[in-house]
Amino acid sequence: MSRAGQSRIFRAVVGGAAAALVITAAPVTSASGQAEQGPGHDRGAGQVTGKATYRHLEAFQQIADDNDGTRATGTPGYEASGRYVERQLRKAGYRTERQYFDVETFTVDEVAIEVPGVDLDPVPFSYSSSTDGTVEAELVAPSNPLGCTDAQWDGVEATGKIAVVSRGECPFADKTVAAAEAGAAAVIVYNNTTGALNGTLGNPIEGSAPGVGVTQAEGEALLGAMDAGPVTGSFLLQTSIETQETFNVLAETRGGDPDNVVMLGAHLDSAPEGPGISDNATGSAAVLETAIQLAKGNRGKGKGHSKHGRKHDRGPATINNKVRFAWWGAEELGLHGSNHYVADLQANAPEELDKLAVYLNFDMVGSPNYVIGVYDANESTYEAGVEVPQGSIEAEKVFTDHFDAIGQPWVDMEYSGRSDYAAFIDAGVASTGLFTGADGTKTEEEAALFGGTAGLTYDPNYHAAGDDINNVSKEALDINARAIGAVARQLAYSTEAINGVKPPKTHPGKGHGKKKDRKDKKEKRKGPRSKRR
């Protein structure tokens, strides 16, 4: 998950208030105390299991081990990850496609930040600008600790100084711009929860101050020193940006209605700091295993069309709707792969965008201190940070109904659009997904539901070198992998609840039956096309 995305997703929890929980029936437990799955747990799920999914995680770990410990965009580890996914898909009978695009990659060339009496381990924001040499200046805080707007700097003389502001309320980019407009030469943002603060501006931003993140404890130490009197520190940050070519990996079922497409996606790249097994080999592996198992029920002959208009074999009628799979590139650099995919359709094939019935996003589904989270499209717990497209509430319900049916507790996660479903939301495509948590803090209520440790982050190794094969909950992976498999098969059969398109009423292989008018489907999309990316 991108750093920018995580900065907003746990707004309600990080702010100190316990999240309101949607609590389903408790699972039945065996004598051993392990949760037993209720009737229908495997119904429609095929062989998508945590065990099979975990084997892909082991492969991704080996790839990282062989490539300097990372699978980040622009590295040999990312190329090898793409080849692994493609190889597995082809063995399952898929045709694969690479969608290439350019992205600006960010490198920290030098960082040295010192404040007398305070030990700091700063993490530069991705796409941060550079300082003009070393800044030797007094530390200063805004009138409002968040420092998001010009008004929150009113009455503060910050010219040439080093700003110290709190995480929260607005993106990191806004904080660096507001600090620069107040005259600050650099900015230190401290976390408002436990753990390191890994931030990104999403893209290079003209007029922003060079910025880094520090922990909450480090921020409190800085503020304490400033309260005792003027504090002078030094701040050196040198960065560089270059344009590189990278890619998404795409595949789709041979059968199914090409005019009614179910799409599943997960980002394939890791953060540069580590192997990225929790974030996001778990999502990539779960989507991959779902594709493999779905292909086993997708044999046969007939005529159909891919999104590019090529004819191919149509599978059995149980796969009524075409299912498309995506492994996104450059998510950690700012959702670039998914943004490119949607923008390309909008520019070159807008009619194909209208054929997407739903997009399902899986960004972290095996966090070690996990919750079972579903994006809160109906806003029953969190107010959405974006306009929720028509059909998203119904898509959310497909997952929550699955969990309810097997007695699996779940909680809402904010429908923020801060992962690869953002571009689809902006384009009016019904969207939902699963999420087990990143650098937010687990509550007592959540620990009571799912076990684990309250007061600790969901993933203590988020965006760190320790995000390796040992940084995954096999239990959470199994729960989510099964859910993804079950929901994929359900929607491959029918999306009627989401977009009104009914499954065929004829015999298998005889067509797709009567569908709701495609014009009605288009009218469900929120927002004029001119506002789409």
Active site residues: 331
Phi, psi of 280 (to 5 degrees): -140, 45
Q: How far apart are CA 290 and CA 509, in angstroms?
A: 23
Helix (H) or strand (E) holding 400: helix 392-405
Question: If DSSP codes are grouped into helix, strand and coil, which group holds residue 200?
Answer: strand
CB of 290 closer than 8 Å to CB of 387? no
Q: Position of tokens 């390191």? A: 196
Residues 6+ apart with CB under 8 A from 217: none
CB of 453 closer than 8 Å to CB of 369? yes
β-bridge pairing 232-252 and 321-328: antiparallel
Q: How far apart are CA 81 and CA 268, in angstroms?
A: 7
Distances (CA, A) of 364 to 6, 94, 274: 11, 25, 15
From the CB of residue 214, how many other CB atoms can be counted at a distance below 10 Å? 25
Tokens of 118: 């305070």
Q: In whole angstroms, how large is the CA radius of gyration of the chain?
A: 23
CA 141 to chain centre: 32
From the CB of residue 83, how many other CB atoms can be counted at a distance below 10 Å? 12
From the CB of residue 353, how many other CB atoms can be counted at a distance below 10 Å? 21
Q: Position of tokens 């208009």? A: 309
Tokens of 282: 């778990």
C-alpha closest to that of 107 among 134, 130, 77: 130
β-bridge pairing 211-214 and 186-190: parallel
Helix (H) or strand (E) holding 433: strand 431-435
Helix (H) or strand (E) holding 29: strand 28-29
β-bridge pairing 135-140 and 162-166: parallel
Tokens of 470: 């040992």
Q: How far apart are CA 44 and CA 118, in angstroms?
A: 56
C-alpha closest to that of 467 among 318, 270, 204, 242: 270
CA 254 to chain centre: 27
Q: Position of tokens 């009605």? A: 520
CB of 228 closer than 8 Å to CB of 81? no
